[in-house]
Amino acid sequence: MERLLSAASFYSLIFLFIMFTASQLLDKINNHISEIQFTRTPKGLYEPIEYILSLGGKRIRPVLMLMGYNLYREDVVSIYDPATAIEVYHNHTLLHDDLMDRSDVRRGKPTVHKVWNDNTAVLSGDAMLILAFRYMTGCPPEHLKEVMDLFSLTTLEICEGQQLDMEFESRCDVTEDEYIEMIRLKTAVLLAGSLKIGAILAGATAEDAENLYNFGMHIGVAFQLQDDLLDVYGDPEVFGKKIGGDILCNKKTYMLIKALNRADEKQHAELNRWLNAEAFQPSEKIEAVTEIYNQLNIRNICESKMREYYTFAMESLAAVVVAEDRKKELKNLVKLLMYREM
């Protein structure tokens, strides 16, 4: 009996260090979110929230929070509320983005303002922001202030990034540094914050939490650069949307900024002609601008910048003081995101 008890104790110790895969954590948070029921009224406020959350998605941000936590602890169920907060907040931004961009489709389904109306989209989006903060307060009291300080700063920075992105639409002199700062704020800080909150809730050291934050920040920038690249050179079947959308709307992407900086007089004039054109065939514009990108080697330049930030990210992850095998799932997830099929 004593030997059996010792064996049981031994296996209990092993199970304390189980690492979940990203896929397992995705299933867990998906199941949790699918069980959320809003019992408050009026239903017209909460049905759009249930609708957009039901559309699914990769749930990268809550999964990253759970993975950050799982580096140190196994009981990921204990932070489902903060993880839900991140996903509710992210979908709040998507709901408002769709309205601002007048997008008709989100994840293959009609957007909230198309199913309901503009005013409902605004109000339900506002409610999602408040709900996100309420879910985030579900973390333990000893971490509440640190977590809420980080979460509130992150949400404010995302607004700042969105405003910069809108201001860039009317500017032709956006610099590379300005663009990188914009995508850091608009995209990267939420990935970084998700990882850091997970680490804080797990009781990680301040140094580890900050290194995970930097890891997420660099990956977020690389991820957005990858999106810029895929919008021009991606496979529509894999990318999930039509190619060339950024070119058609003159979006100030890393690729366009680099092209404007590197173009000779003739190429610059041709780019400006397309940027100022009001009547054109979409396919012709996409082909013409892509050809200039090809002439200027913009694809390789963008890929090089992506690798630079990927390297920064790996250096930050290497500085996290946990066993290397416990970082394996994070590395696998990042490779999956960064090397999506072109």
Q: What is the pLDDT of residues 51-95, one digit of tens each?
A: 999 998 889 999 999 999 999 999 999 999 999 999 999 999 999
In the predicted model, is pLDDT for residue 246 greater than 70?
A: yes
Q: Residue 278: enclosing H or E segment and its boundaries?
A: none
In the chain, alpha helices (H): 2-15, 22-34, 43-54, 60-70, 80-101, 112-115, 118-136, 141-168, 176-183, 189-201, 206-233, 236-239, 245-248, 254-262, 265-276, 282-295, 298-318, 328-338
Among 38-47, 103-112, 165-174, the least confident range: 103-112
Q: 177-195 b/e with 16+ CB inside 10 Å = b? A: eebbbbbbbbbbbbbbbbb
Cβ–Cβ < 8 Å for 214, 248: no
Higher pLDDT, 18 or 312: 312
Provide the pLDDT confidence category of residue 138 given band limits of 50, 70 and 90: very high
Model pLDDT, residue 229:
95
Mean pLDDT confidence for 229-237: 86
Domain spans, the chain: 20-138, 148-342
- pTM metric for this prediction: 0.91
Fold of 20-138: Farnesyl Diphosphate Synthase (1.10.600)
Kindly tell me the sign of the dihedral angle through the C-alpha atoms of 191, 193, 194, 198. positive
For residue 129 the two structure tokens come to 């922001």
High-pLDDT (> 90) share of the chain, %: 81
Fold of 148-342: Farnesyl Diphosphate Synthase (1.10.600)
The span from the CA of 248 to the CA of 251, in Å, is 8
Provide the pLDDT confidence category of residue 319 given band limits of 50, 70 and 90: very high
Among 4-18, 37-51, 152-166, 218-232, the least confident range: 4-18
Nearest to 135 by CA among 175, 85, 170, 94: 85
Mean pLDDT confidence for 219-237: 91
Q: Convert the pLDDT of each residue in 85-130 to its tens digit.
A: 999 999 999 999 899 888 888 888 899 999 999 999 999 999 999 9
Among 174-188, 282-296, 324-338, the least confident range: 324-338
